Amino acid sequence: MAETEKITINMNVVDLGQVDLLVEQGFYSNRTDFIKTAIRNQLTSHSKVIEKVITDKAFLIGITYYDRKTLEQVAENNKVLDIKVVGMLVLKEDIDVELASKTIKSIKVFGVFKASPELKKALNQ
């Protein structure tokens, strides 16, 4: 199962009451089911836009990991990364600030970015 993240939303009381009414009537099993369904429906309705941006901007989709070995290979090839992810980006704990600064030009994450606080600070995230 895909990794999930907890989010918090604020709703006005009338909207929340309507959600609760739909749950009570059996349309959804609970509030979370309603919210997940609404989000999926919106993502589906905008799927062409999402696909276009992902294709045009060369985004990676899903969970993307970088470790020390990978960044050392980038450095050996005299390359610098522009990392763009839709999903989750993980910079492993074995990456130090010097290596990351030398090999990563920019990071754009739509979703979750996991890295040590030092790496996030050094990469202005």
Both 39 and 65 in a single domain? no
pTM: 0.67
Residues 21, 22, 26, 28: is their CA dihedral positive or negative?
Answer: negative
Digit-coded pLDDT (tens) for 112-121: 999 999 999 9
For 35, the domain range is 13-45
Determine whether 103 is exposed, middle or buried from the number of CB atoms within 10 Å of its CB (0-12, 13-18, 19+): buried
DSSP three-state, residue 17: helix
Both 108 and 63 in a single domain? yes
Under a CB-based contact definition with an 8 Å cutoff, are residues 43 and 50 in contact?
yes
Whether residue 4 lies inside any domain: the answer is: no
Under a CB-based contact definition with an 8 Å cutoff, are residues 83 and 59 in contact?
no
Both 72 and 113 in a single domain? yes
Digit-coded pLDDT (tens) for 3-53: 788 999 999 999 999 999 999 999 999 999 999 999 999 999 999 998 888
How many domains does the chain fold into?
2
